[in-house]
Structure formats: C-alpha cells, structure tokens
Amino acid sequence: MFKRILIVALVLLAALVFSGCVKPYTIITPLEQPIAKPSMVSVGGITDQLPLDMAEGKKPTLEDISKFRSVLEKHLEQSEVFLLGASDSAGPAYEVRGSILEYKRGSGFMRFMFGAWAGGAKVVTHLELVERRGNQIVFSGDFTGNVTSWAESGAAMYDRVAKEFAKQIKKQSEKLEPKEKS
C-alpha cells in the first residue's frame, strides 16, 4: 500500500515539474520579414471566442478586455519595435487583433487558502499582428497566461500574455534582420 502511494506521489510530482516546462505560447504564423524599427502599431479588437454556453459571469468583462488592450500597448511600445499611434493620415502600419479562446477568472482568496489549483486564473488568447496595407497577417500565435500566486491579481495573466507576444515579435524580427559586417 505504501509503495502505491509513493509511486502516485512521485508521478504527481513529476507532472508538476514538467508542467512548468511548457512554453506559454505556440507560434502559428512566424514572421517572414523583419519589422522596420520603429513601426507604428495600434491595438484593435479583442473578441470573445469562448464557448456559447459559458455563463456571462464567468466571461471576461469589458474592463478586463480594456486592461488587456492597455498592457498590450505598453509591452508593444516597450519592445522598441513599435510606436503607438498613426504615422500619417493613413494610420499605423500594423494592427494587433485578437480573441480570447479560454478564460478562468480564478480567485485570490482561494489561491491563498488552498493553492493554485483551487483558485488559479488562466487566459488563452489568439493574437495576430496584421499589416494594415494589405490586411495580411504577418505574425500570429496562441498565448497563455496563468496566475497561481495569491499575491497577484488575476489581471497579471494579461500582462504575461502581452509581454510574451511583444517579446516573440521582437525576437523573430531581430533574427531576420541582416547581420552587420565588422
């Protein structure tokens, strides 16, 4: 009996260790051309693609989506690849669009009392960087944000998604830039 409990405990421990090794993103459309720095960008619509039978009280609020858009703008601008706003009368060269695919609000109190499994917050989004001139998707991916600590608000999951999205665009763009000869 003790042996079985020990084996189950070890399997659960291994699952915990390896679950932390999963990337918080999946790139669907990689960049094919570097983005000229700095390019103008705007954050467009973030839509709800959650299951139709999901209760309204369990979906993100308009305030949640507004916070998400704000942190997307912040991290895109901090990436040093983009500037927010319009470069000319035609508007910004790029637009970020997205959808929320999975959402769990979580509870800070439950995380405090019982740990992440009881009150963890999670969001899975699909984000696209669209070149507005041709309405062409130049980069896209699915990004996941989690909050497992009682000391963080659930909104931290949006910050993680936005930061990873901006980081991946910058990383891919820099890989594609021509190397300078010494």
Higher pLDDT pick, 100 / 110? 100
Q: What average pLDDT score do residues 149-156 get?
A: 78
Per-residue pLDDT of 46-61, as tens digits, reads 999 999 999 998 999 9
- The 8-class DSSP code of residue 93 comes to S
pLDDT for 59 equals: 92
pLDDT for 17 equals: 45
> 19 pLDDT band (50/70/90 cuts)?
very low
Burial of 178 per CB tally in 10 Å (0-12, 13-18, 19+): exposed
Cis-peptide into 38, omega within 30 deg: yes
- Is 173's pLDDT higher than 60? yes
- Is 12's pLDDT higher than 60? no
Q: What angle separates helix 62-78 from helix 156-176, to the nearest 10 degrees?
A: 30
